[in-house]
Structures are given as C-alpha cells and as structure tokens.
Structure 1
Amino acid sequence: MAYPEHVKGVLRSTALDPNPFIHDNILGALMGSPQEAIDHYKSDNGNIDHIQTTHIRQHTTGSSLVSLDKRLFQTLKRSVEQAISPPPAGSEWTKIPDLYGFFEHHVTLAIAETLLGSAIVENYPGIISDLWIHIEYTDHFFMGLPRFMIPKAYAARDRLLENIRIWSTKSQSLRQQNAVDTQWDAVAGSALLQEREKLYGDMPGHDEHGRAAQTLGLLYGGTSLTVPITFWYFFETVRNHTLHDRVLTEINTHSLPESSSYDFMKLTARPLLRSMHAETTRYYSSNLSVREVVAPEYALDAKYTIKKGTTVFIPNKYAGQFTAAWAQAKPQAVTKPLDTFWAERFMVSDQDGKRERFSDVGFSGNWTSFGGGEHK
C-alpha cells in the first residue's frame, strides 16, 4: 500500500512525468496514433500537452461550459424521451436493455453528439457500441496484444478511426468554406472540436489519421469515467428515499421552467451534489494515475528509491479505501466506513453548524479519483 505522502510526492515531483505513458501507451497503443505524431509530442518537451490542456479548459469553464451543458442536457433529454415514449397504437414496445445499458447508450450518445455533432452519430450508429468495446479492451491494448489475439477490439477501433477521419475531413472542408456554425454545428461539432481540429491540423504528423486518434482520445476521455459514474450517482440516489428527496429538492429549486431546463452552474455548486459526485468517484471508479520516473532516480522515502524509466501506478480504488490514512487526514470522513457509500462524506459544517459546504481539503494523496492525467 502506498501511503498518502508517497502519492503526494509522486504527483507533485518534476522527477516523474505522466506524458511518456500518455504518448506511448494511451495515444500510441490505445488510440492508434501515427508514430510521426507521437514523435512530435516527445520532441516538443511537453509544450503540446500544455497547449492542449489550456485549450480544453477554455471550453470547459465559464460561458463555454454553460453552452456545452445546455447542449448535452437537451440532447440527453431528447434521446431518453424518444426511447421511453409510448409506441403508436397497435405496435410493440421498444425493448429497453438493463438500466446500466440504458444509461451507457443515452449518456454516450449525448456526449458524442455534443462534442462531434449529430451527423456522425446518425451516419455511424455503431459509434456507441464500438466505443465501449474499445474502452473495455483498454488493458489488452496496453499490454500490446497483437490484432489476431483481440480481433474484435481492433475491428471496433478501426471503424471508430475510419468514421472519425471521414468526419474530420468533412469538418475541415466546411470550416475552410466558412460554412459552419462556430458554436455548434451538426457536421463539424462543438466549438471545442472545431478549434481542436485546427490546432492539431497545423502540427507535424497530424493529417486526418493523427487528428482522428486525438479525437478518439477525447471521446474516450469524455465517456469512460463519466458514464459509469453517472449511473452509480443515479443508482445511489434512487435506492435511498431520504437522499432521493434531498436531491430532487435541489434540482427543483434550480429549475428554469421558461426554458424547460436547469441552472447547471448553481446545481453543480451545491454542497450535497458536489459531495455525492466526489464520493461516487471515490467509491466506484477504478482509474489509475500513472507517472514515469524521468530523473536518474526518485526517492520515494528514506528507505526506497525508484530508478529512471520505472512506471508508477496509483490505483484510486485502494487509495480511496485506505482507512488509516483517511482517519489521520480527517477523522469525521470515516464516520461511516470507506467500504460503503456515504453521500455526505465530503461535506463539512461551519463553526456555528448552520451552513454546510463541500470540502476536499486534507484528502490530497487519499483521493485521486479525478483521473490519470497531469491535471485534476
């Protein structure tokens, strides 16, 4: 078991870098990025990674995030309503899969359409099933298994990349003609993806093949953790009557009847909903944070050192349930055992006890549910 001080040291030290694993294993082995593109990432000393992160943050904060939220909600709402609406008289009901399968389909569709536009989803209806085949074979790609050993996974990725290349070429052509809605376009997708296509299109090694691998990476990143966490968030809400009533009250309080929508910025700032999201990722996600030692050696503590080239894996599942460390960091956080779901685990009260707020202060090194990249 890695102790919190080990985790904090690894995540903060410049002697360890997430990018070698991202370049070779994620973009290369998993996303099928061309070698020329990977060589460009490596030769740029991390500058491309910084530019990419800055660009994504511009589109996932403030008014840009509000725009994406609204598009995602409306797409999800339309998709679900179509699926559960009563059939015409005399026809059979549409078969709905198990509840998790229902969430997986509709949330993935909403994310894909919000990011890439509706045309690719309509022209390539297999995008959802192929994406989840790809996601579920992640560890097999990381192990470098050849095509003949996992033909189903390679075939799904081939179809994903081929259709994204077609989408990329169409998007590029329309943008060059100034024939797109720059906020969101049915063919070219969101402003995030339109600008991202141009950003990468100007780099060496990023023809339609290099851009397609990058887009697949973004689509993977936007769904692989979001979809299961969305399901378990919902599941924990509806299985507890008291929690269900509290969540519904929060939602109804921030509804916008005039637009049949909600004030998402205020909702996501509510302490209970923030705590529930943090607890859901802590309890249900099994993601890894990965770093590679790039210095001659790294001192984990006074007893152990790690040599250059060693890959360090930090599993959220174990760190998130290491009771001794959590109890030391914040005793009230283990009022209920870490091997159970507790919606209020990340909530604290002000000194007068009248106001509750969300807080993850003190959990550094214990809570790494935010993902495996360089930035939270």
Structure 2
Amino acid sequence: MDGTNATTTGAGALHFLDGYQNSFLVRVLLALLAICVCTRLVSSYTFRSIKYGKAHHVTPPTLPYWIPGLRHALSLAYDSKGFMAKCFKKYGDGTPFFLDGADQRMLIVLDPDHVKSMLQSAQHFDPNPFIHDQILGALMGSPQAAIDYYNSPEANTDYIQTTHIRQHTTGTNLGLLDKRVCDLLVQSIGESLATTPGTEWKEIPDLFEFVTYHVTYAIATTLLGSSLVSGYPDVVSDLWTHIEATDQFFMGLPRFIIPKAYAARDRLLANMRKYAVKSEELRKHNQVNTTWDPVAGSGLLQEREQIYSELPNHDEYARSAQTLGLLYGGTSLTIPVTFWYLFETLRDPEVHAQVLSEIQTYSTEGPAKYNFMQLTTRPLLQSLHAESTRMYSSNLTVRQVVSPVYNLDDKYTITKGTQVFIANKMNGQFTPGWARVRPEALARPLDVFWAERFVIGGGKGDEKRGRFSDAGLAGCWTSFGGGEHKCPGRHFARNITIVTLAVLMGEYETELVDVDTANKMVPGPNDTAFGTVRPKGKIAARIRRRA
C-alpha cells in the first residue's frame, strides 16, 4: 500500500514539474532573471574595470545595477534617500560614481579634493540650471515663462539670489532679524503656556514638533509679516508637507500620486499671491514700514518683490514661487538643525551648563534681552552649530558642468551638462578627508556628536583660549555649500539656532523628561543620504517660565 502511494505521488509530482517547466510564464521569468543576473555581472565588471584601471581621462564609473535601461530608476523611485545612503555605505571610498535613473544621470562626489575643486570653480560649475529647472520649476511651481526667462542669456538673477540676501542677513540688518525672531518666539511660546500657572511645568509630548512649529512660525512671520501668517493658520503644516515631498517633486511625480503635497503647495502659493498683490499696492502708495511691516513683511522681502516685479514674465504667480522659495530656504534645513542643536545641549549636562552660562553672561536688561552679536561669536556656540549642521543638515549641493570638459583629477574627466551632487551629511563623515586636513578633529569619531570639534587651541573646555575655526575644511564641511555660491543666508541660519536656545534656556527652562529614552530616538548617522533628519520617535520634554 505504501509503495503504491509513493509511486502515484512521485508520478504526479513529475507530471506537475513537467507542466511547470513548459509553462510560458516560467520561461519568461527565467529569461528575465537571466537577463538581470547578466546585467548585474556585466555592470559590476565595468564598474570595477574603470575604478581599478590605470587609464587616464576616463568618465567615472556607474554603480552596478540589475535592470537594463532602467538601471537604478526603481531603487531611486522607491526610496531615493535610503538607496543613496546604502550606495555610500558600500561604495563611499572617495571614488566618484554615477547613479543612473533611466538615463537621468547623477554624478556623486565624496572626495574632499573633488568637492573643493567643484565648489571653487564657478567658471566650470553652475548651480543655476538646477535652481531654475528643479527648485523653482519642479519644487516651487514657478510658471514656465519665468523659468524660460531665468534660462535666457539676458537674465542675471545672481544679485537677487546672493548679494541682496547677504546684504539683509549680515551686519545691522541681521541684528534686526535676530531680535524679531527672538520676540516672536517668546510671544509664541508664552501663548502656549498661557494656561500654565506661574513656574509650573508644561509637558511637551513631542519636542521636535514643538520646536518645528514655534521656530517656523517665528521665521515665517519675520519674513512674510504677521498679516499673512495670522490669516493662514495652516501655513506651518502646509509648508512642512511641501518640504517633506521635495524628492517626490524633483522626480516629477504627478498630482494623483502625491495629492496632499500638491494641495499644500497650491494653498501656499495662493496665499503668497494675495500677499504679493497687497504688498505691491502698499508700496505704490508709500504706505509700508520698509524695515518690517505687518502686511508687506521684512525689508528683504519687500525689496525682492520690487526687484522681481520689474523683470519680464514676473506677475504675482512667478513672484509667489520666489517667495515660497525664500521661506523654504529659511526653514527646511534650519529647523531640524535647531532642534538637534537644542537636543544635543539638553542631553549633555556639561554642554548644558556651558551654554547656559554663555546665555546668562550675555543677557541684557531692557527690550533687547540678549546681546546676540556677542553670543553668536562664542567659540562653543559656533562649534555646536557647525557640528549640528555636519551631523544633521542632510541636504544636497548640486552643480552642472558648463565647460566642454572638466578634469576632476588625473584620472576622471566629466563633460558639459553633467549634474554633480554632494551629499553634505555624508561628506561631513568622510574620515579620510578629515584626516588629511585636520586630524585633531578625529579625537572622537565623525559618527559621534562632539560639541567642541570645531574649537581649536586651548585645553578641554578652555573657552578663553580656544577659538572657532573651519579653516581648511572647504572640502569636508559643506553644509552651506562653498565658493561664490555659498549660502548667502548662512549667518541668519546660525543665529536662529542660537536665538532659539537663548529663548528656551534663558527665558524659559526646558529639559528632557527621560534622557535614556531620548537617546534611543537618535537616528543612525548613515540611515539616509538626504532629507529632514527627524528623531525615530517622539521625544518628551517639559518647559516652564524661568523664575
């Protein structure tokens, strides 16, 4: 009986397998698998032969891939941030390499010599093609007529994008911005404590969201004016919905795939168009306070509106995209860095004591509250900001080759039209580069936060003799870009973090509820290559008025 059953079962299985092997679908799948495996083997061989070959003036290699034609497209579409991070982890030894999303090629550079060369060679590398087509066009929704003007030979918007912003975010103008952000933070946080008596503690379930809301509110009101912000209560949430969809807009995903992101951007632009019309009307009748106006906003924005309104094809639709770009630029990186600056200060008792001492030393009587001109030059506070941007400012710097040919070094050559990307967080953790220019900064590993990494001279904690320095790090620490196109608003970005600490530690008392639990919420330094660096979960804190 058992033998008969075994024979019958075996015959059935063979018949099933025979049919399975003859299945057209199976043959197709096996053929596709064979194609993918062969593609991987060939692309891996090509990558290695270029990387380890002795030839000169060759194009950098493309990373191995499985699917012909599409190459890395599916991986980039599914999780571009995580996929790029994995590429750095496996291939990030300093060799430049291409990622190819169906012929949309991105050259990734990591070696500090390549990075420095690229950032300091403005005649060969131009940020504007990416700014105009991707940032203003795809991300900010600028009308095509305005994009065409930006890309035309007669256009020159560098003054507005760099020099003009720099004029308004340095010197006396920077001091005015600092004070307004400070006053707005005190007001906004004070309103959130309105129902909390005296010096009692108020629980903060999610410190990241708390900082994000209040600092975004303060920046938006400082730049755009109180009328727009108060009349548009969802401006903060809509802005962050838009920011978090950045890579999806860059990939050109249609509205039906990311409807919430498009809807948020639509509302932002609609409100900024209303602002543009009101501001223009007030300016025509000389009815604005040119320093800061509740309706017309900051002097920076008022002048930008005036300058852009005189350019061809710049109606309120084009100007609203520029205004959204200004707000995006002032918040998307600054807010996460501000949070992590605060978090790293709160979780380290020694750093907390030093920072609080600095804040109290430079507090003042009267409406000014704090001497930010002095606070922002303190070595420890500057180093804390630089280290926070190095670890947590996860942005990309992009340049396009505009020369016919450019030699990255003796081996690699790139041609006109190549889009070159720097992943600034990964660049800031490239140990071989730091070892060449500042080995003493490696006293603690680059994947560990070290508040005094950018302080040189003096002993441990010796603030009187130590000084802040980023000298020699042009190819290693690139959070604000570099060269002629270095971020013009970087001083304002730094000051926002210090102003926020002054308010949350000087005006108020803020502490983490459970430091050990909070430490578990810190994401891995190499989890993603770009994008907002958020905690892995909610970090509980509490706040009260300082007695």
CA offset at residue 87 of structure 1? 5.0
| 1:370 maps onto 2:476 in alignment | no
Q: In 2, distance between residues paired with 1:283 and 1:48?
A: 32
Give the Cα–Cα distance (whole angstroms) in 1 for the partners of residues 174 and 432 of structure 2.
38
- Contact 2:296 / 2:302 at 8 angstroms: preserved in 1? yes
Task: Look up the match of 2:170.
Answer: 61
Query: Using the alignment, how far apart are the partners of 2:389 and 2:319 within structure 1?
Result: 30
1:23 and 2:132 matched: yes
1:156 aligns with 2:256: no
1:340 matched to 2:448? The reply is yes
Distance (Å, rounded) in 1 between the aligned partners of 2:363 and 2:220: 25
* Contact map agreement 1:287 1:371 (CA 8 A) in 2: no
Report the 3-state secondary structure (helix = DSSP H, G, I; strand = E; otherwise coil) of the residue aligned with 1:259.
Answer: coil
Instruction: State how 1:3-82 maps to structure 2 within 5 Å.
Output: 3-13=111-121, 14-44=123-153, 47-82=156-191
Change (3 A) 1:178 1:95: farther
175-184 or 154-163: bigger deviation? 175-184
Cα drift, residue 95 of structure 1? 8.5
Q: Quick check: 1:29–1:144 contact (8 Å CA) kept in 2? A: yes
Shift of 1:16: 1.3
Query: Do the aligned partners of residues 87 and 271 (structure 1) sit closer, same or farther apart at CA in structure 2, a change above 3 Å counting?
Result: closer
- Following superposition, the deviation at residue 310 of structure 1 comes to 1.2
Write the letter of the residue equivalent to 2:455: M
Q: Evaluate the alpha carbon distance shift between residue 77 and residue 44 of structure 1 in structure 2; reply closer, same or farther with a 3 A threshold.
A: farther
CA gap of 1:78–1:52, structure 2 versus 1, over 3 A, is same
CA distance in structure 2 between the partners assigned to 1:39 and 1:24 by the alignment: 9
**Bigger mean CA offset, 303-312 vs 268-277:** 303-312
What does 1:114-263 correspond to in 2, within 5 Å? 114-259=222-367, 261-263=369-371
Deviation at 1:47, TM superposition (A): 2.3
* Secondary structure at the counterpart of residue 420 of structure 2: strand
Amino acid in the other structure paired with 1:306:
I
How many pairs align?
372
AA aligned opposite 2:476: N
Secondary structure of the residue aligned to 1:206 is coil
Question: Of the candidates 348, 355, 364, which is equivalent to residue 465 of structure 2?
Answer: 355
Query: What letter matches 1:132 in structure 2?
Result: W
Supply the AA of the counterpart residue of 1:49: D
1:315 counterpart (415, 420, 423): 423
Alpha carbons 1:116, 1:188 under 8 Å: kept: yes
TM superposition score normalised by structure 1: 0.95
**Mapped contact 2:179–2:368 kept (Cα < 8 A):** no
The Cα offsets for residues 279-299 of structure 1, whole Å up to 9 and x where unpaired, read as: 000011111110111111221
CA deviation string 1:59-118 (max 9, x = no partner):
111111111111111001100111123358xxxx99955110000100000000000000
Task: Report the more deviating stretch, 257-266 or 38-47.
Answer: 38-47
Structure 2 unaligned blocks of 5 or more: 1-93, 95-109, 488-547
Does the 8 Å CA contact 2:375/2:381 hold for their aligned counterparts? Answer: yes
Which shows bigger deviation, 259-268 or 57-66? 259-268
CA distance in structure 2 between the aligned counterparts of 1:16 and 1:66, rounded to whole angstroms: 33
Give SS of 2:434's match: helix
Paired-residue identity, %: 61
Deviates further, 133-142 or 296-305: 296-305
Residues 83 and 94 in structure 1, CA contact (< 8 A), matched pair in contact too? no
Distance 1:260 1:196 in 2: 28
- SS for the counterpart of 2:164 is helix
- Greater displacement, 32-41 / 366-375: 366-375
Residue 51 (structure 1) shift: 3.6
Report the more deviating stretch, 131-140 or 315-324. Answer: 315-324
Residues 19 and 46 in structure 1, CA contact (< 8 A), matched pair in contact too: no
Distance 2:420 2:455 in 1: 31
Partner SS, residue 271 of structure 2? helix
Relative to structure 1, the CA distance from residue 144 to residue 335 in structure 2 (aligned partners, 3 Å threshold; closer, same or farther) is: same
TM-score by length of 2: 0.66
Q: Secondary structure at the match of 2:366?
A: helix
Runs of 4+ in 1 over 4 A off after TM superposition: 93-97
1-side partners of 2:289 and 2:208: how far apart? 34
Preserved CA contact (<8 Å) 2:142 2:321: yes
Q: Which has the larger radius of gyration?
A: 2
The alignment's C-alpha RMSD in Å is 2.0
Q: How much does 1:195 deviate?
A: 0.8
